[in-house]
Amino acid sequence: GGTYLIDMEGRVVHTWSKVRTNPRFLDNGNILDSSTDDPSRGSGFVEVDWDDNVVWRYTDIRSDYAPHHDFIRIFNKKLGSYTTLYIANKTVAQEQAIAAGCDPSGNYKDAQMDAIVEVDMDGNIVWEWWFFDHVVQDIDPTKANYVGQGKTIADYPGRINLNLPGRPVKRDWLH
């Protein structure tokens, strides 16, 4: 029902009630955590101060994104301010999967692929990197991400094979 700071003798030093899933201490002494009890089905993040007051909240309202348990607050030198990086499951539609070169005989209902999202302190998305933009396949030569004549998936390190044997693209595929 909360988060507890415990000293080296096992005594509770401090408690917070508004964070309880995957809390992380920030450099400023505040705590950043997922905003829901289930980090695998999150919607955003909450930052609380020492007195359990919410000082920052972010909710990803995009219907095809589901932030989850991996996140970190960083200082973005280019922006000159703090931002939060997080991983989100991003929906891949059936048509999108086929268009990218997934095996057309597959069922890609509820398919997802992780995205790394960076949000500033005003809640603006300032950067995003989606695994789906870095895939390769060897099934359909008409697609732009086809391996090419005489090449194999192994010729593309840093790319993800959309058609891994026995591992079709599905919900939470890269987890």
Q: Hey, what are 166's tokens?
A: 């026995």
pLDDT at site 20? 76
Q: What is the DSSP letter of 100?
A: T
Coil vs helix vs strand at 134: helix
Which has the closest alpha carbon to 60: 113, 125, 116? 125
**Is 137 in contact with 102 (CB distance < 8 Å)?**
yes
- pLDDT of 71-97, one tens digit each? 999 999 999 999 999 999 999 999 999
Q: Please list the alpha-helical segments (H only) found in 79-132.
A: 94-99
What pLDDT is stored for residue 175 in this prediction?
72
Q: How high does pLDDT run on average in the chain?
A: 92
How far is Cα 114 from Cα 121, in angstroms, rounded to an integer? 22
The segments of the chain whose pLDDT lies below 50 read 39
Q: What is the DSSP string of 55-70?
A: EEEEE---TTEEEEEE
| 65, two tokens | 């994104």
Q: Report the distance separating Cα 23 and Cα 35, nearest Å.
A: 10
pLDDT of residue 35: 78
Which pLDDT score is estimated for 68?
81
Q: The whole model's pTM is what?
A: 0.87
